[in-house]
Structure 1
Amino acid sequence: MPGPFQSLDTEKTMAWQVIFFSIILMCEVSSGQIQYSILEEMKEGSIMGNVAKDLGLDIKELEIRKLKMASHTKKHYFNISLDNGNLYIIDRVDREAICEMENPCLLNLEILAENPVNVFHVKIEIQDINDNPPTFSKNVFDIAISESAIPGAHFALGKAHDPDLGTNSFLSYTLTPSNYFRLREKNGTEGINYAELVLEKALDREKRSFYELTLTASDGGKPMKTAKALVNIEVQDTNDNYPFFTHDTFRISLNENEPYGFHVVHLSATDMDESTNAQITYLFSHIPENAKATFRLDPLTGDITTIGPLDFEMKQYYEITVEAKDGGGLATHCTVLIQIVDLNDNAPEIFLASLTTPIPEDSLPGTLIALIHVSDLDSGKNGEVTCQLEDTPLFTLIPSSNDYYKLVTSRSIDRETTSVYNISLLAMDEGFPPISTQKTIQVTISDINDNLPVFDKLNYVAYVQENNLAGISIHSVHASDIDAGQNAQILYSILNTNIEGMPVSSYVTINSENGIFYAQRSFDYEQLREFNFQVTAKDRGSPPLSSNVSVRICIIDKNDNTPMILYPSPDTEKTALFEFIPHSSEKGYLITKVIAVDADSGHNAWLTYCLLQTPESSLFIIGEHTGEIRLAQNLQDVASLRQKVVVIVKDNGVPSLSATVTLNLVVAENFQQVLPEISRQPSNSDSSSNLTFYLVVSISMISILFIFTVIFTVISKCRTSSTPTMLGSLSRVWYPQFSLKPQSQFSEGSLPFPCSYDVCVTLDSRKNEIAFLKPTENVPTDNLIDTGDLVYCDDAGSDSIPAQVKLRLGEIYKI
């Protein structure tokens, strides 16, 4: 700090005189590097130069390229205008604070440009101005001079300190004119000027014991700056020897990691005097402010020790002046220069200059993800840093210039495999031992629509009971997409196809959001047993991707059809059809066979026959599954020639449906005995006449059929022994066709999966009741009449079918 007597003549013109200095601008454009030279203490906003022009950049592209100063330091002094490319000052530039005594004072800056990425290096040379006045280590110098001092004796006054450089720090001293004293400047071995007081005349303490002089220190700057200090001279008794150090300057090197209390140096000064005049005390004559908390001087021993941390990155050397004063007041000075030695005590730092995330999963290899800068506050090898990736095969690190690295992709990336990558960077210096720093960068991969929707199944099968309500849900499909966002949102639709000439949309519809099918109509198993269509699953990506799946809808049969009796006709009572039973028939004689069919399938079409009403319960029996009516006993004792039997046919459905038929049975030895019995009809003359006519016609037809049957039987016996012989009043074989299906959860005991078989049965169950069992497509077409669910088989051809049966078949199956 300046003393109280410092000159105040600098005023305002001295404060910003630097503005009137011309800015020395040097631009070197070599290897992408430019250099500017400025004076310190320039105003904020002062322009140093045009970076865009010096780097050959287009001013219009500065904002697009995002030109900016790279931030690697805690304090920033400069910035770039994106409007015109000017490099200007944004904070006070104090050369002494930045470089201290270092000359030249250079700042290395980096200018970062993106789009494309480039790094430009700029050197700023800060030139010194005379902005600091000299300062003395203290405002008052107290000097004790023995009255025995002879003229020519000199007394050290200490030195002033000026942090400027060159002529701005060159010091000259002046002293208040006196008849007894004059000033002498002494040059030390380091080129440092010291002021000494020289005695011109002998002193007489009794005449004057105290002198007060003013010591002025002036630097060589323009304008010149000065500092003043008082010199108080006390005349004492004789003490004619001064302390002296073995060296004027002590140079010490200290490692920056030395602990507190570390012994730096032992200063020893000697005095040829004796007693109190030889007792020496030590004190800091001049010490920097930042060194007061770091070093301590023992006033009795002269030992300097550390009391604070040493950090090469904060302070690299210290200059301390030590004064040794004897008991007589004589003093001498020495300079202690302490150099701090750098150690590898700073970990490298990793900075992200730019980062692009997320990146699309279809990014090409070599896509730039981040620009990385590494630095180390240490110097030499301790400050040289290398950076590398830790086991990340999808990415690679490419070295650039001046500790910059480019993080790029090394191969294609699949978001569905990994959507987020944590990339570990490892920076390590070359010190001993080396120190490393790890930093993790999280990179997110954005999705593109590169995956098709996938259905849960290869195809879908749904079972729906017939007679369903329109609008009910019958099944659903589900597809998934491993993409994300809209690329994974799926819409369902049915491909437009026709089913039996009708569009599929008239049968089923689908919810486009959840894939649920709804029936558009009530299904009839007897009309439509199954149908197929395709469903499309399409995502909402751009462009959308889709896939198809087949859907099969199977209709399950319900017991909604009553058994249909084919023979005898349910109208037998009206037509008065009779069955002839010879009186000599024995037990087990086959009288006739009730034939019925059911339009349903499976269990719903399995029929059961039983007698509902008989005149004598023990006279007739009926086959439960064949419908064959036989004698249960011999007829010798039967008195009545006419018997009436009611047969009920029930299916196996739940609930069971049934149909009944009434049979008129006539017992006689010949037809002549039958006629009187038949004529006994309780009706009027017209009905009796009609009944007689019908009976004659029936008997004639039965006779003709009987003759043909006998002829056919004889021929069949001659042709093959495997053909069954038919006995009875009629020779005919009916083949009900059954649909055999395995049971499912929807069938209620019925058999789904249609598989039609022809079952040929005879009238006489004792003679090969089941003639064959095989699929309908294998039945010879020359002796089969296809009636839907009933096939009539007769080796004699279709002409042998009774006309009444033919008529009944035609009514049911539209033959």
Structure 2
Amino acid sequence: QRGWLFWRVTASGRRSAGRQRQVIAFLLCVCVCQSGAETLRYALAEELERDSVVGNIAEDLGVAPSQLAARKARVVSEGNEQLFRLNANTGVLTAKDSLDRELICPQSDTCTLFFTIFLENPLQLLRGEVEVLDVNDNSPVFREKEFVLEIPEPTPPGSRFPLESAQDRDVGSNSLQNYSLGSNSHFSLALRTSKDGVKSSELVLDRQLDREEQPELHLLLTATDGGSPPRSGTAQIRIVVLDANDNTPVFDREVYEVRLAENSPPEQLVVRVAATDPDEGSNGEVRYTFTQTSEGSRQLFELNPSTGEIRVSGNLDFEEAKSHEMVVRATDGGGLSAHCKVQVEVMDVNDNAPEIELGSLTASIAEDAPPRTVVALFSVRDRDSGENGRTECAIDGDLPFSVTPTIGNYYELRTTAALDRERRAEYNISISATDWGRRRLSSRESLLVQVADVNDNAPQFTQEVYSMSVTENKGPMLRIGSVKATD
């Protein structure tokens, strides 16, 4: 058995059309040779026009296009929608519509779409991958066009003030790469990169402020990506210089670590952050806000500005995000602030039952088919992870059929013994899929298998000898008796 590896890259274009993926089970009434394990790999830039060429399947497999047509080649995408089209006459694989990488794989460094090529006579499966390459089609964007920082005039040089981060939907070198600050006499910019590669900036005070000399300062913050040519976005920073407030809020810890089940209901308490300020009056009153926190996390968690309680406000999904990091700013009435991190680890629960994908509810097989003939192909998908996403399949009853796994998440329904239509003309097979979670979830689908007749019985007379009599002198065409045979 051979295996192939191919890589094709297509130039970028413009247009956007987000699509999801689709998996379709494929059923055939044929005897099947061993399923293929070939993998075809291609790359296609996003935003190309519809019907852009991904690659030539026939050419890459080293077969004539006529063989693909003769074997009724077809392509099926994983997911909920067909993204590719295969011309069986030419072997050319094309994208049905323009692909928008940011819609298909948001916040993902790599974006790979999977497909399967089905061939008949004999049945063969070829796995394929298309990596959607990012183009620099998004500029960095700040949540607000203007940020206001209230800084007391006694603040010493060297003090740092975290700034709101810009968001760039592109990835890799096309994503946000740098921040810069407009020329001024009081502040410089410090850049930092987190463990996961996210870049942020802090305003550094270089020269002490004097409210009587300059009560407000206006700075221009620019975020730039690494595309060619680069794209950028800007935001205004308005510095309001305050009179003295000599105590900064202090959190009781720098990092809050929380573990939270993905099925946590809305309003459930996640954690309560607390900062204290010994100043009196409004200078000692602390209020809490999110900063340097992604839009996705802001939609899942809400922060009470008065109490510091963080509660669930959306639907957590372990399969979409396994962790969330938020930065909470505590600001007193005089404008002094402190920051802490909240790290939430989302724990997986078995909340998704396996999904059985049947292309048809009926199948047919000839009664003289030998044992281990493939009757049907179907797929099983479980959106959970680990043991919760591991599945096994079985069929109910003592029937001459079995279920065996094949490549990926596909299963084959095979015969285990010879069939006889004269004894039983059809089988209603109940297929069950069960995951391996602690609280095991399962689903069930039914498939009607019809046994097709073959000419395997000779006619038989009802008796070996028939005795009849007739008197003489009778005319022609006289009925003297009958014989009977059955099949």
TM-score band, normalised by the shorter chain? 0.7 to 0.9
Q: Who is 1:135 aligned against?
A: 141
Q: Who is 1:312 aligned against?
A: 318
Q: Who is 1:187 aligned against?
A: 192
1:502-544 Cα distance to aligned partner (Å, 9 max, x none) = 35733x4xxxxxxxxxxxxxxxxxxxxxxxx431346xxxxxx
Instruction: Indicate conservation of the 8 Å contact 1:385/1:429, yes or no.
Output: yes
Question: How has the CA–CA distance of structure 1 residues 153 and 407 changed in structure 2, closer, same or farther, with 3 Å as cutoff?
Answer: closer
- 1:18 equivalent to 2:33? Answer no
Match of 1:376 among 382, 403, 409: 382
Match of 1:63 among 62, 65, 69: 69
Question: How has the CA–CA distance of structure 1 residues 145 and 289 changed in structure 2, closer, same or farther, with 3 Å as cutoff?
Answer: closer
Distance 2:333 2:11 in 1: 48
1:421-448 Cα distance to aligned partner (Å, 9 max, x none) = 2111122222223222211101233456
Distance 2:244 2:297 in 1: 37
Structure 2 matches for 1:678-717, cutoff 5 A? none
Instruction: Indicate conservation of the 8 Å contact 2:361/2:446, yes or no.
Output: no
Question: How has the CA–CA distance of structure 1 residues 436 and 151 changed in structure 2, closer, same or farther, with 3 Å as cutoff?
Answer: closer
Q: Who is 1:553 aligned against?
A: none
Question: How has the CA–CA distance of structure 1 residues 143 and 280 changed in structure 2, closer, same or farther, with 3 Å as cutoff?
Answer: same
Instruction: Indicate conservation of the 8 Å contact 1:243/1:324, yes or no.
Output: yes
Instruction: Indicate conservation of the 8 Å contact 1:156/1:331, yes or no.
Output: no
Distance 1:226 1:353 in 2: 48
Match of 2:411 among 393, 405, 411: 405
- 1:33 equivalent to 2:33? Answer no
Question: How has the CA–CA distance of structure 1 residues 244 and 74 changed in structure 2, closer, same or farther, with 3 Å as cutoff?
Answer: farther
Count of residue correspondences: 454
Distance 1:183 1:400 in 2: 60
- 1:112 equivalent to 2:118? Answer yes
Paired AA for residue 70 in structure 1: V
- Indicate the SS of the match to 2:477: helix
Question: How has the CA–CA distance of structure 1 residues 289 and 196 changed in structure 2, closer, same or farther, with 3 Å as cutoff?
Answer: closer
Instruction: Indicate conservation of the 8 Å contact 2:262/2:347, yes or no.
Output: yes
Distance 2:66 2:44 in 1: 27
Structure 2 matches for 1:320-399, cutoff 5 A? 320-353=326-359, 357-399=363-405
Q: Who is 1:500 aligned against?
A: 472
Match of 1:535 among 461, 466, 482: 482
Distance 2:234 2:169 in 1: 16
Indicate the RMSD between aligned Cα atoms, in angstroms. 3.5
Instruction: Indicate conservation of the 8 Å contact 2:363/2:447, yes or no.
Output: no
Q: Who is 1:429 aligned against?
A: 435
Instruction: Indicate conservation of the 8 Å contact 1:256/1:311, yes or no.
Output: yes
Structure 2 matches for 1:436-447, cutoff 5 A? 436-447=442-453
Structure 2 matches for 1:192-203, cutoff 5 A? 192-203=198-209
Structure 2 matches for 1:45-124, cutoff 5 A? 45-124=51-130
Question: How has the CA–CA distance of structure 1 residues 157 and 374 changed in structure 2, closer, same or farther, with 3 Å as cutoff?
Answer: closer
1:449-503 Cα distance to aligned partner (Å, 9 max, x none) = 7485898xx99xxxxxxxxxxxxxxxxxxxxxxxxxxxxxxxxxx9997532535
Distance 1:367 1:193 in 2: 57
1:32-63 Cα distance to aligned partner (Å, 9 max, x none) = 22322333333332222222222334311223
Instruction: Indicate conservation of the 8 Å contact 1:77/1:92, yes or no.
Output: no
Paired AA for residue 400 in structure 1: T
The offset of 1:178, in angstroms, is 2.5
Higher relative contact order (CA 8 A, sep 6+): 2
- Indicate the SS of the match to 2:271: strand
Instruction: Indicate conservation of the 8 Å contact 1:106/1:123, yes or no.
Output: yes
Paired AA for residue 471 in structure 2: I
Query: Where in structure 1 are there 5+ consecutive unaligned residues?
Result: 1-15, 21-29, 460-493, 509-532, 539-544, 547-815
Distance 1:339 1:286 in 2: 18
Question: How has the CA–CA distance of structure 1 residues 162 and 154 changed in structure 2, closer, same or farther, with 3 Å as cutoff?
Answer: same
The offset of 1:73, in angstroms, is 1.0
Distance 2:415 2:198 in 1: 61
Q: Who is 2:131 aligned against?
A: 125
1:309-346 Cα distance to aligned partner (Å, 9 max, x none) = 22223444434343222111223444444332322221
Paired AA for residue 117 in structure 1: L
The offset of 1:183, in angstroms, is 2.4
Question: How has the CA–CA distance of structure 1 residues 40 and 270 changed in structure 2, closer, same or farther, with 3 Å as cutoff?
Answer: farther
Distance 1:309 1:431 in 2: 21
Distance 1:58 1:380 in 2: 42
Instruction: Indicate conservation of the 8 Å contact 1:354/1:370, yes or no.
Output: no
Structure 2 matches for 1:431-580, cutoff 5 A? 431-447=437-453, 450=457, 498-502=470-474, 505-506=477-478, 508=479, 533-537=480-484, 545=486
Structure 2 matches for 1:708-787, cutoff 5 A? none
Paired AA for residue 481 in structure 2: Q
- Indicate the SS of the match to 1:52: helix
Question: How has the CA–CA distance of structure 1 residues 183 and 258 changed in structure 2, closer, same or farther, with 3 Å as cutoff?
Answer: same
Instruction: Indicate conservation of the 8 Å contact 1:346/1:378, yes or no.
Output: yes
Distance 1:192 1:389 in 2: 49
Query: Where in structure 2 are there 5+ consecutive unaligned residues?
Result: 1-9, 15-35
Paired AA for residue 502 in structure 1: K
- 1:236 equivalent to 2:242? Answer yes
1:216-243 Cα distance to aligned partner (Å, 9 max, x none) = 1112222211111111222221124443
Distance 2:245 2:46 in 1: 49
1:537-588 Cα distance to aligned partner (Å, 9 max, x none) = 46xxxxxx57xxxxxxxxxxxxxxxxxxxxxxxxxxxxxxxxxxxxxxxxxx
Match of 2:221 among 205, 215, 218: 215
Question: How has the CA–CA distance of structure 1 residues 17 and 328 changed in structure 2, closer, same or farther, with 3 Å as cutoff?
Answer: farther
Question: How has the CA–CA distance of structure 1 residues 146 and 420 changed in structure 2, closer, same or farther, with 3 Å as cutoff?
Answer: same
Paired AA for residue 447 in structure 2: I
Q: Who is 2:233 aligned against?
A: 227
Residue range with higher mean Cα deviation, 439-448 or 351-360: 351-360
Distance 2:182 2:219 in 1: 6
Deviating 4+ runs (over 6 angstroms): 494-497
More helix by share: 1
Distance 2:417 2:198 in 1: 66
Instruction: Indicate conservation of the 8 Å contact 1:495/1:536, yes or no.
Output: no
- Indicate the SS of the match to 1:62: helix
Distance 1:414 1:349 in 2: 32
Alignment TM-score, normalising by the size of structure 1:
0.50
Question: How has the CA–CA distance of structure 1 residues 170 and 299 changed in structure 2, closer, same or farther, with 3 Å as cutoff?
Answer: same
Distance 2:157 2:297 in 1: 39
The offset of 1:292, in angstroms, is 4.1
Structure 2 matches for 1:786-801, cutoff 5 A? none
Structure showing greater Rg: 1
